[in-house]
A = this chain, B = another copy of it.
Amino acid sequence: MALIVQKFGGSSVADRDRVMNVARIITDTYKQGNDVVVVLSAQGDTTDDLIEKAKEINPNPSKREMDMLLTTGEQISVALCAMAIEGMGYPVISLTGWQAGVATDSNYSAARIKRVRADRIRKELDKKKIVLVTGFQGLNKYDDITTLGRGGSDTSAVALAAVLHADLCQIYTDVDGVYTADPRKVKGAKKLDEITFDEMLELASLGAQVLHNRSVEMAKRYNVNMEVLSSFSGKPGTKVKEVVKTMEKTHVSGVAKDTNVARVALVGLTDKPGMAFKIFSLLAKEKVNVDIILQSIGRDESKDISFTVSQDDMARAEEVMRANQELIGFDSIEVSDKIAKISIVGAGMANNSGVACKMFEALFSAGININMISTSEIKVSVLVDERDAENAVQAIHDRFFGEFGEA
């Protein structure tokens, strides 16, 4: 007997039949003798529909009222799912975020969980009830309803799993696990049985879009065993945990593509101390997140610095740089959003320089030009032209996971 937290996303509860399906998964888990706590998202397009309703009335509503509005979506989900489980003859209770004791800060629309007082959940579990909790939401110190922002429901699930010391936190979604690359786009993409938190973090930030980083970060911090699996297939998914079996062997977990990236290049910088500090503190002040930074080794007095930002931040980054051209001291600025970042992720990669080499070789064989390179402990990223992105992913994936691959 174990305590299992299950989370189902919006597509998993989109209509009556899917709610019934989810109720069956939940009651099957309960029947096996487990304590079950379930976190649900809003049904299908509910959240988008509510946002549209709001924008019709006020294009710029306060975040506080927006949270008041949107949190109804999850409340509808838990109530309906509880009714489905009641209909199957199992004891069940639904709870809102505040009833479940999820306390957050007051950053409406993007609140952080501060603590979870899980007394109520424990009491209901003691009564042998299946407990359904609204994802994505909590309560701040003013007794106002907040939402957790993107990836919020995953985060709710991991937070509850952490506080309740759950044996497993299952994230049910519409894909059946984490793949070596996007299975809709890359031939031969394989499902992984296991992956470490760090690898998952890199993959998520690279656009794998299976789990949100926030939830994985929290799972890593509190050592919550996660599993990503499909609510439709009934097959085992991908386990996400601190240490995986295959860890001692160098391996590549996956190939990811991120097209939401823009490059800013400052050309002809005078090389003097504090130059980089100046540039990046100006960007930080404007809340522009910088990803890859590359500084060229200049031949004479002048240097170039290139960095990448998300496409949403490109205009702002350019503006800040131009406004401070004299202060920073550069000749010209070039920006481009016609690029993509392709990355391979794998634990233990740092100890095996051959991995990066294989990646570059695959790109060379496919005739794809590399624009920038960045490496970390468990990741190698390259920037390529946007139009080369898909070919690049396939070529790299073939090299590592294809019939003659070596991962």
Contact = CB atoms under 8 A, between A and B. Distances in A.
Shortest Cβ-Cβ A-B pairs, 5 listed: A69-B79, A72-B72, A58-B87, A61-B83, A58-B83
A50 B76 CA distance: 8
B16 A56 contact: yes
A34 to B, nearest CB: 22
A86 interface: yes
A99 B144 contact: yes
A25 interface: no
B53 A80 contact: yes
A54 interface: yes
B94 A57 contact: no
B83 A76 contact: no
A71 B94 CA distance: 13
A143 B86 CA distance: 21
Contact of A65 (B16, B72, B83): B83
Interface in A137-169: 143-145
- Range for the number of chain A residues in contact with chain B: 35 or more
A72 to B, nearest CB: 4
Interface in A71-118: 71-72, 75-76, 78-80, 82-84, 86-87, 93-94, 96, 99
A355 to B, nearest CB: 50
Contacts of A66: 79, 83
Contacts of A62: 82-83, 86
B86 A76 contact: no
A19 interface: yes
A120 interface: yes
Nearest to A64: B93
Interface in A9-63: 16, 19-20, 50, 53-54, 56-62
27 contacts: A16-B53, A16-B57, A20-B57, A50-B76, A53-B76, A53-B80, A54-B80, A58-B83, A58-B84, A58-B86, A61-B82, A62-B86, A64-B93, A65-B79, A66-B83, A68-B78, A68-B79, A68-B94, A69-B75, A69-B79, A69-B80, A72-B76, A72-B79, A75-B75, A96-B145, A99-B144, A120-B143
A372 to B, nearest CB: 43
Contacts of A61: 82-83, 86-87
Contacts of A20: 57
Interface of A: 16, 19-20, 50, 53-54, 56-62, 64-66, 68-69, 71-72, 75-76, 78-80, 82-84, 86-87, 93-94, 96, 99, 120, 143-145
Nearest to A80: B57
A75 B65 CA distance: 10
Contacts of A80: 53-54, 57, 69
Given A75-B72, A80-B69, A57 B143 contact: no
Q: Which of A60, A78, A96 lies at the interface centre, i.e. has the most chain B CB atoms within 10 A of its CB?
A: A96
Contacts of A57: 16, 19-20, 80, 83-84, 87
Given A16-B56, A64-B93, A120-B143, 9 more contacts: A54-B80, A59-B87, A60-B87, A61-B82, A62-B83, A62-B86, A69-B75, A69-B80, A72-B79
A155 to B, nearest CB: 22
